[in-house]
Amino acid sequence: MTRTDTAAPRLPARETGAPAPGPGPAGAPGTGAGPAAGSGGGGLNPAEPAVIAVRRVGARTVPVALEAGTFLRPRVMRRPGTALRVALAAVRAALCAGDDVRLRIDVGPGAELELVDPNGTVAYNARGGRAAWGASVRLAEGARMSWTEPSFVVSDGADVLREIDADLAEGAELLWREALVLGRTGERGGALLATTRVRLAGRELLAEDLDLRAPGLRGLPGVLGGARVVGQVGLFGRAPGGSADPDRLDLAGPGALWRWTGEHPYRSEAPLTRVWRAWGGHA
């Protein structure tokens, strides 16, 4: 039932952010083709993905496979209700230089998965190396999934690729929340490229490369300005109710993104939670 269509999004060439015209310095770490997508490339160490596969039996959703990967271990949380809740526990510290954290999720027809990551992710100073965190999500017809990633912190000196690839069949619905944070307290943060690809019934619903690698580019007016936090809630497969708002992006297909940018991560909590709940997220 798994699809193997894991073609990586084409990565943009790195913007150097240098004030001088012309091509960027060829010797800078990571300059050139951008971080390699997929395991094993670009100085990343081979790693096993964590696998979560669930299906519906009667009215309930049950696990088919819960496999620990090199970095993450899925654990079922006992809860009332028909949805299956799974939490991600850390197997070992990540993300350090060379780490390639992979998560593979498969939700069968009509099944309902609530995925929570209580810890979030911190990308540490890679000292010239790089790291990657990628999730591949497949929702079958009528499947529903909600997914919270509390914070993805990119420390000074980190160079990290965050990739999400979601493939939704007809009638599937994905509600997702994340907060990308550039730097720990007092830092400006390292390099982050966050790529998001969402397909619905085989058609591209959202394609986005949030390229926050070069401080000279991400600080420009129109990109992030002075902000160091991008918090977002995405609903894919259904257009949420409610009225237009400058922070709300209504996609061309059924779905929307609600995006908060600012300086302090804690300030994003309340507005993101409000939207998460309004769009059907659990408490």
Partner 1 sequence: MEGGTGALGALLLADARLPVGGHAHSATLEAALEAGMPAERIPDYIRARLATVARTEAAAAVAALRAARGEPVDFGPVQAALAARTPSAPLREASAALGRGLARLARRVAAGHPAVRALDTAGRAVPGLRVLRPVALGALGAAFGMTAEQTARASLYDDVQTVTAAALKLRPGDPLAAVDRLLAAAPRIEEVVREAAATATPHDIPACSAPLIDHWAGAHAHTTRRLFVA
Determine the Cα–Cα distance for residues 69 and 51; give it in Å rounded to an integer: 7
For residue 58, the surrounding DSSP H or E stretch is none
Return the range that interacts with partner 1 (CB under 8 A); candidates 57-65, 87-95, 150-158, 221-229: 221-229
| CB closer to partner 1, 187 vs 208 | 208
Residue 241 binds partner 1, judged by CB under 8 A: no
3 state DSSP class of 71: coil
φ, ψ of residue 224 to 5 degrees: the values are -115, -10
Residue 160 binds partner 1, judged by CB under 8 A: no
Of residues 60-99, which lie at the interface with partner 1 (CB under 8 A)?
A: none
Return the range that interacts with partner 1 (CB under 8 A); candidates 19-27, 53-61, 118-126, 142-150: 19-27
Residue 211 binds partner 1, judged by CB under 8 A: yes
N residues, the chain: 283
Binding mask 166-205 for partner 1 (x = CB under 8 A): -----------------------------x-------xxx
Provide the minimum distance between the beta carbon of 200 and partner 1 in the complex, in angstroms, as a whole number.
Answer: 10
| Size of the residue set binding partner 1 (CB under 8 A) | 40
Q: Which residue from 18, 90, 91, 223 is in contact with partner 1, where contact means CB under 8 A? A: 223
Residue 207 binds partner 1, judged by CB under 8 A: yes
C-alpha distance from residue 247 to each of 243, 260, 266 (Å): 11, 6, 17
Strand partners, 56: 61
Provide the minimum distance between the beta carbon of 263 and partner 1 in the complex, in angstroms, as a whole number.
Answer: 13
CB 51 within 8 A of CB 65: yes
Q: 3-state DSSP helix/strand/coil percent for the chain, to nearest 5? A: 5, 45, 50
Determine the Cα–Cα distance for residues 33 and 207; give it in Å rounded to an integer: 19
Q: Which residue from 109, 157, 248, 269 is in contact with partner 1, where contact means CB under 8 A? A: 248
Question: Cβ neighbours of residue 116 under 8 Å, at least 6 residues apart?
Answer: 77, 85, 86, 87, 88, 147, 148
The residue among 141, 117, 166, 204 whose CA lies nearest residue 1 is 141
**Virtual torsion, Cα 239, 150, 267, 124, nearest 10 deg:** -130
Provide the minimum distance between the beta carbon of 95 and partner 1 in the complex, in angstroms, as a whole number.
Answer: 23
Determine the Cα–Cα distance for residues 153 and 3; give it in Å rounded to an integer: 30
Return the range that interacts with partner 1 (CB under 8 A); candidates 14-22, 50-58, 118-126, 266-274: 14-22
| CB closer to partner 1, 143 vs 200 | 200
| CB closer to partner 1, 87 vs 223 | 223
Residue 37 binds partner 1, judged by CB under 8 A: no
| CB closer to partner 1, 160 vs 206 | 206
DSSP-assigned letter for residue 41: -
Provide the minimum distance between the beta carbon of 272 and partner 1 in the complex, in angstroms, as a whole number.
Answer: 14
CA 275 to chain centre: 18
Determine the Cα–Cα distance for residues 163 and 133; give it in Å rounded to an integer: 6
Q: Which residue from 25, 27, 80, 221 is in contact with partner 1, where contact means CB under 8 A? A: 221
Residues that bind partner 1 (CB under 8 A): 9-10, 12-13, 15, 21-23, 195, 203-211, 217, 220-225, 227, 230, 244-253, 257, 259, 261
